[in-house]
Amino acid sequence: MMAVDSAQVDLWRTAPTETQNPEFKEAKTGYDLNKTYEYCVAIANEGGGHLVLGVSNTPPREVVGTTAANDPVGMAQKLFRKLGFRVDVDAVDHPDGRVVVFSIPSRPVGTAYSLEGKYLMRSGESLVPMSEDQLRRIFAEGEPSWLEQPAATGLTAEDVVSLLEVETYFELSGLAEAAGTPEHVDRLLQDRLIDQSDGRFSIRRMGALLLARNLADFPDLERKAPRLVVYDGKSKLSTRLEEKMSQGYAVGFRSLVHSVVAQLPQNEIIEDALRRQVKLVPDDVVRELVANALIHQDFNVGGSSVMIEVYDDRVDFSNPGEPVVDVSRFIDSYQSRNERMASIMRRFGICEEKSSGIDRVVHAVEAYQLPAPEFRVSGGRTVATVYGHKPFDDMDRSDRVRACYQHCVLKYVMGEFMTNSSLRERFGLPLNKQVVTSQVISIAVDEGWVCPDARVGGSKKYARYLPCWAVDTH
């Protein structure tokens, strides 16, 4: 492994804020050895990366220098004896101060590293044990994933194009329509959506889920069809409509989004003393959350599908499985359990670049001054709830604090800071409501969601805030 230099450190410092690799720590006067062990294990379990000491982890990620690891060779030996795998340690003479970089390899496929019986991973600025679900996925890595296994076998080329919407596939891919069946099949083979053996073809579950003309043609996939349920009122007591998507996710995505949008109630709001009707939820929010639910579901959960549930005052978007990152980090983090599917969906223009989907949802919600969306885990499912318009005075404490935290994170990923003024504008409040906004911020600080940026001192006038997980306390 090549030694790290100051140019590489500067390149990492300018990387997008959602990047979890490398992990920056100020560590001006040293860094706890046990914490170093733990981070090495956690980063290795996440595919490898770097732990960088002597650099602030908040924008603009200034080099502050560190006295940690004054014997890099000895430190590397100590890490190997404790962890059982090699970690390279480099002391970098950066123009702005000494930086120490730990270069951590990835764990082997199908294996997770542990430290004193704990299989660690990162969650924000914390280190937490991996869940049983995550460990099962790691230990099963040597086996073909559920999505890559066949949904139908023993097919002719004509069978393949009759079962899959190959025309739409070419359209979504931005490719010129192929001349005939052989060209269609060849392209699907290149994308590993189908396989060929002994003159016959099989369709992978990935290919069928994305491109099926009718998911019912694939018995083990029919239960994976997304469902739209519309209720009368604010509870599940009375169901007005229930539909199930019949096409594959990619070919039927536009139709599914249109169906959801068509069922959204109208809200009456008063603006500039005039009443007007608006949709409960903006179209682009629906699009992003439908795509997010489809891509991030856990396909190993049997008999369960993506659901969109429309109520008079809110919409729930839920998918099977618990998320691979903490729900409080949805805005700034990206980690997908179905990255190949996500990559194809991005190529089709169905979802955005990595980590931008939830950002866009929160940004749109703020632009329409709606209550902050709620992300939670319930009954083994990941749920995103978007609420219809609600005046600030009707928001309860949790609504206000959630909005404050999400606004703070959104500012952070944009390289900016939340201030009293920016939060007041997010709520659509006039200038004379500064005290009310300050009260919301104070509650969010007390509950550990946001923290003042200590670099501006104790000034109330110039106070600015960061998500607490972004404040380097080491």
Question: Which tens digit of pLDDT belongs to each residue from 105-162?
Answer: 999 988 999 999 999 998 877 899 998 878 887 887 777 788 999 999 999 999 999 9
What CA–CA distance (Å, rounded) separates 418 from 424? Answer: 10
pTM for the model stands at: 0.72
Average of per-residue pLDDT across 88-106: 96
Determine the pLDDT at residue 25.
94
For residue 277, report the phi and psi dihedrals to the nearest 5 degrees: -95, 135
Question: What does the mean pLDDT of the chain come to?
Answer: 89
For residue 255, report the phi and psi dihedrals to the nearest 5 degrees: -65, -40
Cβ-based burial of 203 (10 A; exposed 0-12, middle 13-18, buried ≥19): buried
pLDDT over threshold 50, residue 177: yes
Within 24-156, residue ranges assigned H as helices are: 33-45, 72-83, 132-139
Determine the pLDDT at residue 276.
55
Per-position DSSP letters for 170-201, written without gaps between them? HHHHTPPPPSSHHHHHHHHHHTTSEEEETTEE
- Which residue is it, tokens 């169901």? 239
Q: Which residues pair with 348 in a beta bridge?
A: none
Determine the pLDDT at residue 273.
45
Task: Output 412-415 pairs: Cβ under 8 A, ≥24 positions apart.
Answer: 412/17, 412/59, 412/332, 412/466, 412/467, 412/470, 413/17, 413/18, 413/331, 413/332, 413/359, 415/17, 415/59, 415/60
Q: How many CA atoms lie within 13 A of 410 on its CB side?
A: 23
What CA–CA distance (Å, rounded) separates 425 from 468? Answer: 22
Average of per-residue pLDDT across 395-408: 97
pLDDT over threshold 50, residue 474: no
Residue type, 88: D
Determine the pLDDT at residue 18.
41
Determine the pLDDT at residue 275.
52
Which of residues 270 and 135 earns the better pLDDT score? 135
Determine the pLDDT at residue 430.
93
* Local structure of 54: helix, strand or coil: coil
Determine the pLDDT at residue 179.
67
Cβ-based burial of 173 (10 A; exposed 0-12, middle 13-18, buried ≥19): middle
Residues with Cβ within 8 Å of 277's Cβ and at least 6 positions away in sequence, in order, are 266, 267, 268
Which phi-psi region, left, alpha or beta, contains residue 137 (left: φ > 0; alpha: ψ -120 to 50)? alpha
Among 237, 238, 405, 228, smallest CA distance to 318 is for 228
Determine the pLDDT at residue 309.
98
pLDDT over threshold 80, residue 213: yes
Return the percentage of the chain with pLDDT > 90, whole number.
69
User: How far is residue 42 from each of residues 59, 125, 213, 330, measured CA to CA in Å?
Assistant: 23, 12, 42, 19
Determine the pLDDT at residue 353.
55
Average of per-residue pLDDT across 349-371: 83
User: 390 near 370, Cβ under 8 Å?
Assistant: yes
**Is the bond leading into 22 cis (omega within 30 degrees of zero)?**
yes
Lowest-pLDDT range of 50-64, 98-112, 187-201, 256-270: 256-270
Question: Other C-beta atoms within 10 Å of 319: how many?
Answer: 24
pLDDT band at 74 (very low <50, low <70, confident <90, very high): very high
Determine the pLDDT at residue 455.
81
pLDDT over threshold 50, residue 458: yes
Cβ-based burial of 22 (10 A; exposed 0-12, middle 13-18, buried ≥19): buried
Residues with Cβ within 8 Å of 226's Cβ and at least 6 positions away in sequence, in order, are 244, 245, 249, 256, 290, 293, 294, 305, 306, 307, 308
Q: Which domains are delineated in the chain?
A: 6-139 (3.30.950.30), 146-222 (no CATH), 225-387 (3.30.565.60), 393-470 (1.10.10.10)
User: 211 near 165, Cβ under 8 Å?
Assistant: yes
Longest pairwise C-alpha distance within the chain: 76
